[in-house]
Amino acid sequence: MAQADEAAPGPTPTPGPTSGTAGGERPRLGIGMVGYAFMGRVHSQAWRSAPAFFDLPARPVMAALCGRSAEGTARAAEQMGWAAVETDWRELIAREDVDVVDICTPGDSHAQIAIAALEAGKHVLCEKPLANTVAEAEAMADAARAAAARGVYAMVAFNYRRVPAIALAARWVAEGRLGEIRHVRAQYLQDWIVDPDFPLVWRLRKELAGSGALGDIGAHIIDTAQFITGQHLTQVSALTETFITRRPLAETSAGLSAGVGGGAETGEVDVDDAALFIGRFSGGALASFEATRFATGRKNALRIEINGSAASVAFDFEAMNELWFHDHALPAEEAGFRRVLVTEPGHPYAGAWWPPGHGLGYEHTFTHEVKDFVQAIASGTAPSPSFDDGLRVQRVLAAVERSAADQSRLTAVRQT
């Protein structure tokens, strides 16, 4: 099995400054975001909604949006509520009214933008996976640790940690309700590229995305499993496959972004369409992982089941307000999985929203992410998941790729 790397813990951070206050008002926290496509829209919604539902210690202000097209960025800024526009991320970082840089770009630019922002004294929220390579992720984690010593903080955007049901599962594991963790089963199933005429979007190009289903959605289930169990993967054994090796090119960059194919010209798909691997956790539990964008009929089925000596939990994002719990201490005549509707005020995050039974959606996980990040910055504490957590996931991704390429039964995940 390939060994998974273990990131070194960072130093204890000191509180960092935020932009000016007026009288008794909460300090202003200027946000600058790079990228405005799908993920940029989701993050914009989160920055708008977090102050309306959570009592934040600082006031996020959507100061500036950055994109390569002046016209497209201006249109997006007006639609999503950003005050100003930049077309060069370096200019965005240099702005005095920007305290936080939110990175919503493809993975090939994460390291360059994040490191520059941290060195300039800006807090950073970066989309997942942290980078396209372990080397890039290591450099980002190093920069984040150095910045934390100056009161400047970085967080990687693994939003599924902020699903109330997943956070509840992690709480129960930490409380010992599941006993010794023995098995983990995790899947992320989608079907959006099954059609061979679907175009060669950036997520299917290694130079931009780093990997395919593995890094895009496999990263999520790796982080989710490590988050819930409180353990990390140490060994993996993997298979990957690309089912459709060539796809139509988009006629224009706008068409490519929109996912619209054009003409008969094709390009090579050089990332995986699906990844399967087994693994072992640091506590000894066995695990299986499946990430695919070829599961016809599955739209966004992030599923995870944790089996312990005392109990089990099971979750499926397509029913995201539900967590299933089995108490192994009950007699067989009464035992079985029972549904817990995770919408009660005492459940993680849920109390800030609607009355019990009124479910939350995908967008709320990003609002919770913003809430946690702002609170960490204001209190001078290291946010989670950190860049070290992102590096840990990156090392697992690399071990999976090595195992699949070598067709090795066991591949070690590097620890340092």
Instruction: Tell me the Cα Rg of the chain.
Output: 21
Mind listing the pLDDT tens digit for each residue in 280-333?
A: 999 999 999 999 999 999 999 999 999 999 999 999 999 999 999 999 999 999
Listed residue (398, 400, 388, 403) closest to 156, CA to CA: 388
326 and 337 in contact (C-beta within 8 Å)?
Answer: yes
* Mean per-residue pLDDT, 191-220: 95
User: What mean pLDDT is reported for the chain?
Assistant: 92
The band of 395, judged by pLDDT with boundaries at 50, 70 and 90, is: very high
Q: Round to whole Å and give the CA distance between 5 and 255.
A: 39
Give the pLDDT confidence score for residue 16 in this predicted structure: 38
300 and 191 in contact (C-beta within 8 Å)?
Answer: no
Residues of the chain by 3-state class (helix, strand, coil), percent to 5: 35, 25, 40
Q: Which domains does the chain have, with CATH numbers?
A: 9-160 (3.40.50.720), 164-319+321-360 (3.30.360.10)
* Mean per-residue pLDDT, 400-412: 84
Res. 17: pLDDT tops 90: no
Give the pLDDT confidence score for residue 263 in this predicted structure: 52
β-strand pairing of 154-157 with 246-248:
unpaired
- Percent of the chain exceeding pLDDT 90 equals 88
123 and 154 in contact (C-beta within 8 Å)?
Answer: yes
Q: Round to whole Å and give the CA distance between 189 and 295.
A: 6
Mind listing the pLDDT tens digit for each residue in 53-95?
A: 999 999 999 999 999 999 999 999 999 999 999 999 999 999 9
Listed residue (300, 280, 304, 302) closest to 169, CA to CA: 304
Cβ neighbours of residue 334 closer than 8 Å, sequence gap 6 or more: none
Residue with structure tokens 């640091």?
Answer: 282
What would the 3-class secondary structure string for 192-214 be?
CCCCCCCCCCHHHCHHHHCCCHH
Res. 385: pLDDT tops 50: yes
Res. 155: pLDDT tops 90: yes
Give the pLDDT confidence score for residue 414 in this predicted structure: 79
Q: In b/e form, how buried is each residue of 269-302, taking b as 16+ CB within 10 angstroms? A: bebbbbbbbbbbbeeebebebbbbbbbeebeebb
Phi then psi for residue 389, to 5 deg, are -65, -40
The band of 348, judged by pLDDT with boundaries at 50, 70 and 90, is: very high
Mind listing the pLDDT tens digit for each residue in 234-290?
A: 999 999 999 999 999 975 334 444 444 445 799 999 999 999 999 999 999 999 999
Mind listing the pLDDT tens digit for each residue in 99-134?
A: 999 999 999 999 999 999 999 999 999 999 999 999
Lowest mean pLDDT of 194-198, 215-219, 260-264, name the range: 260-264
Give the pLDDT confidence score for residue 7 in this predicted structure: 37
Cβ neighbours of residue 120 closer than 8 Å, sequence gap 6 or more: 93, 94
